[in-house]
Each structure stands twice: as structure tokens, then as C-alpha cells.
Chains A and B, each alone.
Chain A
Amino acid sequence: MKTKQDLNKIREENLKKLNLLDNNKYRVVVGMASCGLAASADVIYDIIEQTIKEKGLKDISLTSVGCIGECALEPIVEVYDKDNNRYTYCMVNEKKAKEIAEKHLIGGEVLNRYLIENFKKVTDEEGKVIDVPNYQYRIALKNCGIINPLEIDQYIGLDGYKALEKVLFEMTPEEVVDVVTKSGLRGRGGGGFPTGLKWKFTAANKGGQSFVICNADEGDPGAFMDRAVLEGDPHAVIEAMIICGYAISATQGYVYIRAEYPLAVERLQYAIDKAYEYGLLGKGVLVSNFDFDLEIRLGAGAFVCGEETALIASIEGERGMPRNKPPYPASQGLWGRPTVINNVETFANVAQIILKGADWFKAIGTEKAAGTKVFALGGKIKNTGLLEVPMGTTLREVIYDVGGGLTKGKAFKAVQTGGPSGGILTKDDLDTPIDYDNLVRKGSMMGSGGMIVMDQDNCMVDIAKFYLEFTVEESCGKCTPCRDGNLRMLEILNKITDGKATMKDLDDLRKLALMIKDTSLCALGQSAPNPVLSTLDKFYDEYLEHVVNKRCPAGVCKNITKLLITDECIGCGKCLRNCPVNAISGDVKKKHYIDLELCVNCGTCKPACPVNAIVSL
């Protein structure tokens, strides 16, 4: 059991270590979240560790950390020196790792050619390198990539559990709810409901047990913000949940996390165990008279369980089906008791708000959307990765300045936000400041933060079909519009991509979409037609092309596409080598040909061509 004084001591010691005010000369961190590990960051870590051991280096601290945010550039090694300079080495392989260890850590020589600045150049249209401001502002990701998620002391070193101390010993539960309400924090899971209000409604239902649930069922394909927070800074979520428990008089919390994130589950469980050991969880939190227990419950691969009432049903051991609201979980949630459900990222903001105050938080972002938002930027973008920007940053700034623009110099076509519940935004929307209301007005939604960039090679009908296939599979089957309506929509989309649809089908598609939106039971069903509706609105021409001319302009829909090599071909043979069915032939440095009898229209050759000589008819 630790007391306030114990924590203060740990805090002082670890802050010194993290700022290299101890005997160490360098602090070396290796990004070892899921992305990093998939890129073999563990091997890199071992090499550096071994070199340190072999050479008997005594003044270097080596730590594994969570997501640094530059997923496309993994594995990443960062070196901090005593003057607080930070050197970020990217795409480190075994050879580079040895060099970094021997030259930088021993010789003090900075290896400029491996630094991030060489990888993340932002260029203008003529290819000239330009300086861009740093838009990123980290609140939820404050500690990600900086501390070792398995070391509770490092978290404490950076003001960890200080907000909890403040709440327990200096504030009443009402004051806590008040600060959160005044801060303007809104749910980061997609809906954007004011967090403070949620807490207030739940707190008002006094008497008996209440519950705090953290929704970590991040099922939205292409989104990995919550995973990054849980893998990189699990204590931030734990601290916030205890604070929430205190504010609404709940003594039991659950983190509902998807089983597809084994590393996040492992690290969170480890962090919870440590928190118990330190007396931050359990009976008498920090030797106060407030008790709080926390437990992990695993999801089992059902997207709909991200919906709060379905999530509650799942914890209760039922099929994860949503129910009608009201009653809202704030009055009747888990086991019929008042329950607060917040998303991981929402919780990750709470401790900072308590420490720095509602006004500080409100000053960041826009009037109606305070604070920042974490986005998982993916798809055809140069700098795929995790970023956190103030609300109100424009899409253009995110995609071009932070994201570095599109890969292979291709033209921007659309960006998808909000996953299967969201919609498509186009060139015309690029200057829209990102916040909840603006995105809804533009026919999409904030969602949990997935942002997928698409170029001219992506077919919008195909993308709509992709999301609908997802929803059809994930529909729980409880209400008819979602269960059957979405399936009928998918059938129409299949007709379109097979070149068998008529204009009537297009009309039916829109009618059906609007009906499903109006009549489905839960948010999953109500938002399922969004990808179809927004592509219909913004890329109607593309639908027409499929229906009238039986042609897919992007060359994605296989059944109506023929691939052809134009005279631009330089005969490099890259397409030939990449073709899985050996349908391409041609001599070196001469024009190649596709045998349409053999070709299966898989499109593998297209991105392989360095001169964009492969087109679809």
C-alpha cells in the first residue's frame, strides 16, 4: 500500500530519471506496441541491449515504450540526451541498430541519415521540401512512446495518479463532475455526448451499486487509437476510471476490450495488477476511505458490442444485442444499475483535465468541441500512423501536412472517416475544420477516429460495398431493417459492380438506405447506410458509369473490368513478375501485353507499374 507521500517520492525519483538528471547520459527508447513488434522491434531492442552489455556501457537507460505514432516508419529507436534533444531513428534494421549503438551511444555521433527528418519530408506540388507547422498536440497520447507502459513508476514520474490524489483528498464528487462538465469534454468513441453530463446523470441515481465501464471494443476497421493508448499508457485509463468511480459513487469498474488485441489485454492486466499492489485499486484507494475494483472483460469478436447496451448485455453473459433506449445506462445499465460507459480515449483525457483545470482544456480546440482528437491515419497516405491534433484542425492540414500527402504522387480522391458508420469526404471538404458537427453536416461523422485516405485507384462503389459487407456480417439480427434491409442493399450493390443493375436499382438503393436509417433499432443499423448514401451523393457519376456504361472507372470491380497496357510501357517487367497467373508477356524494354483469357483482373500489376501504364477499360 502506498500513501500520497510514497507516490511523491516515486514521482520525484522517476522524473529525474526520465529527464536524465541522474547518472545516465542517454535514454534510449524502442517503440514496441503491436505495429513495432510486427516490424520486429523486439529484435532491434535485443541488439541494442546486447551491445550495451557487451561494451559494458553503464550510463544508458534502455526502455521499451508504446506507440510513437509513426507506424509506417517502424521499427523506431529514439535517443534522448542530457540537453533534452530527441533523435528519432526510423526503419531501423539490424545493421542500423548496431551502428546507432556503436556510433551514437558510444561515440556520441548523431547519424543524421537515419533520422526521421529524412523520411518525413513534406513537399509542395513541385516536389520542393516545405516546412510545416507542428499541428500535433498530445493530451490522450501524452505518455505514449515516452514511458514504459509496464513501469508504473515512470507513469507516476510524469504526474501519474496526481489527479487521483487531488480528487480523493481535495475535491467532492460533485466538484469532479463539475470540472469535467465545464471542460466541454465529449465522448471520443464517435457519438460525442458530453462526458460530464453522462457522469452527472449517473451520479444523480444514488443508492446501491453503480458501475464504471471503459469501452475498449475498438471494432471499427482501420482504427487503432484505443489500442495505442492501452498498449502505451494503460495507467492513464485506470486512473481516470478510478476518478470516475469516485465522482459517481461506483466501486466496481470493467474494461470491455476486444480479444483481437492480445498485447493491449496483457499490458492492461499487468497495469491493473500493479495498481492493486500499490493500493491504487482495491479497498481504501491511496489509504482513503474510497474503494474501487477493476476487472477486464474480453469481447469475442462482435462489432455491435461497441454499442453501449450491447456491450452491457455481453458482460452480463448474453448475446451482444442492443436494446431500446431509454432507459439509458445512466439509470439502468449493467445488471440494471446506473452505469457510466466511456471510450478509452475519453478516459485518457480526464486526469489532465483534473490537473490542469477545465479552462485549460476548453481553450484547446473549438467552441463546441474542446480538446484534441486522436486519429489513425491510414490507406494511401505517406505517413500512416497515429496523430493527435486539436479539434478544428482541417482535413487538409491532417492529410497533407501531418500525413505528408498521398503515396506515389497520386491524386487525392476521398477520405473516409467514422468507419462503417461514417461517410466519404472529398476534395471540396478538405478545408473543413474537424469537429463532431462539421463532419455530420458534410455527410460523415467523427467516429472513433479512423481516417482512411483513398486515391484514384479506389472505386467508391466498391468501398460502399466493402462497408456494407461488414455491417451485414456484424448485424446482430434483432431488428428487421438492419438484418434484412442491409442485405438487400448489398444485393443491389453486387448487381451494380457486376454490371447488371438498372437505373431503378439506383433509386431503390437510395430509398432503402433512407428507410434503414430511419427505422433501425440501434446506432449500428441507423448508421449502416451512411457509406452508401455519402458515396451516392458525392460520386453519383461513378455509380452511373457502373450502371449505364457497365464500366468501373477505377478498374476495381473485376467483373466489368479489363486491364490493358498502354504505350507508356517501358518494358521493365515489374508487372510480369508480379502477375500471379502469368498472364503478362513481353520482352525486356519492349511493350508488354496482357492475355485477357488468362487475366483474372486482380489488379496486382497496376500498382507495380512505375509509369502508370496499366489502365482499366
Chain B
Amino acid sequence: MEKLVITKEKELLLRKRIEEHKAKPGPLMPSLHDAQEIFGCIPLEVQKIISEELKISVSKINGVVTFYSRFSLEPKGKHVIGVCLGTACYVKGSQSILDEICNSLQIKVGETTKDGLFTVEATRCVGACGLAPVYTIDGKVYGHATVNSAHQELRKIIDEEAAGEN
């Protein structure tokens, strides 16, 4: 896994955004959303920047970061695969799709592959229940999924990545 690099530009961008949020009450959550968006995660180094700006202790910030599932301490893979385990998808068998993807990639839910290519998540309802079961790859929703169709999509990306390397 590559270590997260905090570039000067990104740091300045975050500080600028925080400056804007400071004008309003309750600036911590919006700042964290920005940090997550800019860096892809909110590790300790980033929490320290926010702490300096907002004059809130790192321990408190860390408490908030670890409470919410959208904030992560570690960077995610290049491709994020999310299988919806909302009720509508679950009763239509999305669990077996999730199992299959985890199996193929040899990782557990929530983990990232060693090569940093894939992160697999069990997502909450994405609200596309009419198309259940669904999964998402990098934000795009794939509806009426089956174990096979998900497997094929995954294969496609693996092949594309392999082709890109050569």
C-alpha cells in the first residue's frame, strides 16, 4: 500500500476550505468532508491540520472521524466496489454477489487488495431498490445484478488494469 503523501497544494486547499467553514457555526463536519474528498482519507497528519485551524483537539477530531463510516483513516483502493446490502437487495441475493467478489479478490469486506487496486465495501442502501440487487464500481450503479454479471465486470477491470501495465 502506498503511503499517503500530503502535498503542499492539497494542504493549502484544505486550509482554504476550512477558513470558509469557520465563518459558520459547526465547521468540523464540513471540514472533514472536504478533507476526505481532497485526500481520500483522514489520517492523523490531516487531523492535525484541521486541529490547528479549528482549535479543536486532535483527540476529539479523531473521535468524530472514527465514528462516521464515510470517513476513513487509510486510503482506499483505485477502484471501489460496493455491493448494496440494503434490504431490497439482500432479499434478492446480494450477499452471494458480495461473497463472490471477495472470493475472487481474496480479501474481506472493507479491505483493500495488496496491489492497492480494489477496495470492497458492503454499502448501505443506495436507493436504487427498483433495480435490486445492485452493486457499484467507482460510483456507477449496476442494476439487476447476478453473481455472474458481477464477476464479468470485475474481470473486465482486472484485464484492463493488466493491459495498462504492459
Residues on A close to B: CB < 8 A? 34-35, 37-39, 70-72, 74, 218-224, 227, 259-262, 295, 297-303, 314-320, 335, 376, 378-380, 384-385, 416, 419, 450, 452, 454, 458, 463, 466-467, 476, 577-578, 580, 602-604, 607
Contact = CB atoms under 8 A, between A and B. Distances in A.
Contacts of A335: 25
B129 to A, nearest CB: 4
Nearest to B96: A602
Interface stretch (B7-15, B29-37, B112-120, B158-166): B29-37
Contact of A222 (B28, B29, B88, B100): B88
B129 A376 contact: yes
A28 to B, nearest CB: 22
6 contacts: A74-B131, A222-B129, A335-B25, A378-B132, A578-B148, A602-B96
B67 A302 contact: yes
B157 to A, nearest CB: 18
B143 A452 contact: no
A555 to B, nearest CB: 12
B29 A297 contact: yes
Q: Which of B33, B126, B130, B143 has the most CB of A within 10 A?
A: B130
B64 A454 contact: no
A466 B87 contact: yes
Nearest to B29: A317
Contacts of A37: 141
B87 A320 contact: no
B125 A221 contact: yes
A68 to B, nearest CB: 11
A580 B69 CA distance: 31
B70 A301 contact: yes
Contacts of B71: 300
A174 to B, nearest CB: 29
Given A72-B130, A221-B124, A300-B71, A452 B28 contact: no
A463 B128 CA distance: 20
A174 B137 CA distance: 51
B55 interface: no
Contact of A221 (B27, B33, B85, B142): B85
Given A39-B143, A71-B131, A379-B87, A298 B124 contact: no
Given A221-B124, A301-B124, A317-B26, A384 B68 contact: no
Contacts of B26: 297, 315-317
Given A38-B143, A301-B68, A319-B63, A384 B87 contact: no
B32 A380 contact: no
B125 A224 contact: yes
B146 A604 contact: yes
Q: Which of B30, B86, B132, B151 has the most CB of A within 10 A?
A: B86
B155 to A, nearest CB: 13
A302 B87 contact: no
Interface in B88-141: 88, 90-93, 96, 99-100, 123-132, 134, 139, 141
A607 B30 CA distance: 45
A452 B93 contact: no
Contact of A38 (B30, B91, B134, B146): B134
A184 to B, nearest CB: 29
Nearest to A466: B90
A269 B56 CA distance: 28
A34 B67 contact: no
Interface in B23-70: 24-30, 32-33, 56, 63-64, 67-70
B73 interface: no
Interface of B: 24-30, 32-33, 56, 63-64, 67-71, 85-88, 90-93, 96, 99-100, 123-132, 134, 139, 141-143, 146-148, 151
Contacts of B124: 219, 221, 260, 301, 303
Contacts of A35: 127-128, 130-131
Contact of B128 (A38, A298, A315, A458): A38
A454 B91 contact: yes
Contacts of B25: 316, 335
Please list the 5 inter-chain residue pairs (A to B) with the smallest Cβ-Cβ separation, ordered nearest first: A71-B130, A317-B28, A300-B68, A378-B88, A222-B87
B68 A320 contact: yes
A450 B32 CA distance: 31
B143 A295 contact: no
Given A38-B128, A38-B131, A317 B33 contact: no
B125 A222 contact: yes
B146 to A, nearest CB: 7
A378 B29 contact: no
A320 B131 contact: no
A300 B69 contact: yes
Contacts of A450: 87
B90 A578 contact: no
A184 B153 CA distance: 50
B96 A603 contact: yes
Q: Which of B29, B88, B127 has the most CB of A within 10 A?
A: B127
B147 A604 contact: yes
A379 B93 CA distance: 10
Nearest to A463: B91
A228 to B, nearest CB: 8
A303 B68 CA distance: 9
Contacts of A385: 130
Contact of A602 (B68, B99, B129): B99
Given A452-B87, A580-B100, A317 B64 contact: yes
A227 B127 contact: yes
Contacts of A220: 125
A303 B148 CA distance: 31
A604 B103 CA distance: 15
A384 B64 contact: no
Contacts of A416: 87
Contact of A300 (B33, B93, B123, B132): B33
A604 B133 CA distance: 13
Given A34-B126, A38-B131, A260-B123, 13 more contacts: A38-B143, A39-B143, A71-B131, A218-B127, A222-B125, A301-B124, A319-B63, A335-B25, A378-B130, A580-B100, A580-B148, A580-B151, A602-B100
Contacts of B29: 297-298, 300, 314-315, 317
Q: Which of B29, B87, B147 has the most CB of A within 10 A?
A: B87
Contacts of A298: 29-30, 33
A219 B26 CA distance: 22
